[in-house]
Structure 1
């Protein structure tokens, strides 16, 4: 029995047509949007609220929390709004909920002058420097958690967490799947590429997010119940579950954002097929940064990436057998056959329009 969930980060243009990032947007600007979205009491205890109380709904403000000289959160530097689904026993259920939640978010955000745009990396800045500078307490907090020291990456990048779990699977087997997905990540992520912009222009590849992020941050994260089940690594492969519903969850974190949610469905089906498969033997605790960078620059135009992406897609299809989820792989097959990602489309649009903003306005159509 498989379970599925999706966490999808949304970036916005403000009423002036500018990217609403931490440079020009306050927590309150996004908070008014979240406040006007519904609360579903039956979502809990599936969804984690967190200590700061920011994550009360299916939508919450994604950003960098600022602390006083204690655990008390005093601010959150905002980069966008994240949508998270509840846990579903079917891929279609997760996609349907994400679609509904996105429609609600778009409607409410529009009433405050914000419009969603597809971003996987901030096209204007790659630098995040908290202002005012971090205090002693915050520095100690970051030093205690190595992954948190890469906040400068996550504050300028956007992407989904594709969550999958298998009922009653021993934790050793869950970790093994996590290591498998980490190993094959460079061949999974090109299906999602959507970040061809960097420093206000075109980058020389397809996913600047992957090029900068993966290797320094996790490709896959596995939530375990007990400290003795943790595997020491930087970036982390394992993490202690914060609520019971997280135990045994595998989060695939390496993909770019997609504005076509059928690609998320395809990726979840691919992850499920790879979890079921018994023939692939590649395993890694930390992602291969060099291979991800080759993948990020060339995508399916690189022969090794193309061959292995073809192999894992076929392997997943074989593992799924005659299960209806096999149909979700169709959009991935089309992408692979054409060797064209969302980034190719964004590049072409930008070359026609000459404007990043105008290109972004044509996403989520």
Structure 2
């Protein structure tokens, strides 16, 4: 039995038509939107609320929490709003819930003057520098968690977590799958490339998000039950589950964001096939930075990336065999055949319109 979930980060243009990021968007600006969205009591205990209480709903504000001299947050610098689905036993169920949650968010956001736009990397800000600078307490907090030290990256990048788990899978097998997905990551991430903008203009490739984050942030994260099951690595491949519903979860974190949610269905089917597959032998604990950067620049125009993506897609299709989810792979076959990602479309529109904001308005 497979289980599926999706976490999807949404960026916005504000009332003035500017990209709404931490430089001129307050926590309260997004909080007024989230406040009006519904709460579903039956979602718990499968959704984690967290210590700060920000994650009370299917929607929550993604950002960087600030502290004074204790564990109580005093502020949160906002980056956007994340939507997360509950756990589903079928892929389409997760995608349908995401679509409905996005529709509700979009309706409310627009009423407050915010327009959801597709972004996988902040088109204007290249780094996040907390203002005021971090205090001693915050520095000590971050030093305790190596992955938290990359806030300068996650505050300017947006992307999905595609979550998948299999009932009764052993920890050993779980970690093996995590290492497998980390190895094949540079070949499958081009299906989603959607971050061709950097520092107010076009970047010289297809995914600045992939180019900058890989190697510093996890491609795959596996949630284990106990501390002694962790494998030491930077970035982390393993993490101790924070609630029982997280035990055994495999989170694939390297894809760019998609504004066509059926593509998430295709990608979850691809990951499901890769979990079932027993032919692909590549394994890595830490993502291959150089290969991801090559992939980020050229995507499927690079013959090595293209050939391996084809091999991975075929292996997934064969492993799914007569599973109905095999049909969900069709959009990936089309992308591979055309060697085109969302970034190609965004670049072309920018060349015609000359404005990043105008291009972003045409997403979703």
Could you say whether these structures have the same fold, taking a TM-score greater than 0.5 normalized by the shorter chain as the test? yes
Q: Which residue in the other structure is 1:24 paired with?
A: 24
Confirm whether residue 266 of structure 1 aligns to residue 262 of structure 2: no
Give the Cα–Cα distance (whole angstroms) in 2 for the partners of residues 212 and 327 of structure 1. 33
Give the Cα–Cα distance (whole angstroms) in 2 for the partners of residues 5 and 331 of structure 1. 20
Q: Which residue in the other structure is 1:82 paired with?
A: 82
Deviations 1:234-268 (Å, cap 9, x if unpaired)?
Answer: 00000000000000000000000000011111110
Give the Cα–Cα distance (whole angstroms) in 2 for the partners of residues 145 and 188 of structure 1. 28
- Deviation of residue 286 (structure 1)? 0.3
Moved over 6 A (4+): none
Q: What SS does the aligned partner of 2:182 have?
A: helix
Q: What SS does the aligned partner of 1:182 have?
A: helix
Q: Which residue in the other structure is 1:313 paired with?
A: 313
Give the Cα–Cα distance (whole angstroms) in 2 for the partners of residues 67 and 42 of structure 1. 32
Q: What SS does the aligned partner of 1:11 have?
A: strand
Give the Cα–Cα distance (whole angstroms) in 2 for the partners of residues 187 and 350 of structure 1. 26
Q: What SS does the aligned partner of 1:82 have?
A: strand
Give the Cα–Cα distance (whole angstroms) in 1 for the partners of residues 359 and 227 of structure 2. 46
Confirm whether residue 73 of structure 1 aligns to residue 52 of structure 2: no
Give the Cα–Cα distance (whole angstroms) in 2 for the partners of residues 276 and 124 of structure 1. 41
Give the Cα–Cα distance (whole angstroms) in 1 for the partners of residues 260 and 357 of structure 2. 19
Alignment of 1:231-250 (within 5 A): 231-250=231-250
- Deviation of residue 104 (structure 1)? 0.2
- In the superposition, the TM-score normalised over structure 2's length comes to 1.00
Give the Cα–Cα distance (whole angstroms) in 2 for the partners of residues 316 and 126 of structure 1. 36
Deviations 1:261-316 (Å, cap 9, x if unpaired)?
Answer: 11111110000000000111100000000000000000000010000000000000
- Deviation of residue 336 (structure 1)? 0.3
Tell me the matched-pair count.
364
Alignment of 1:1-365 (within 5 A): 1-364=1-364
Structure 2: gaps (5+ residues): none
- In the superposition, the TM-score normalised over structure 1's length comes to 0.99
Q: What SS does the aligned partner of 2:125 have?
A: coil
Deviations 1:185-218 (Å, cap 9, x if unpaired)?
Answer: 0011000000000111100000000000011100
Give the Cα–Cα distance (whole angstroms) in 2 for the partners of residues 106 and 331 of structure 1. 25
Structure 1: gaps (5+ residues): none
Give the Cα–Cα distance (whole angstroms) in 1 for the partners of residues 345 and 230 of structure 2. 41
- Deviation of residue 68 (structure 1)? 1.6
Give the Cα–Cα distance (whole angstroms) in 1 for the partners of residues 173 and 338 of structure 2. 35
Give the Cα–Cα distance (whole angstroms) in 2 for the partners of residues 314 and 262 of structure 1. 20
- Deviation of residue 175 (structure 1)? 0.6
Deviations 1:43-91 (Å, cap 9, x if unpaired)?
Answer: 0000000000000000000000111201001110000000000000000
Give the Cα–Cα distance (whole angstroms) in 2 for the partners of residues 208 and 39 of structure 1. 35
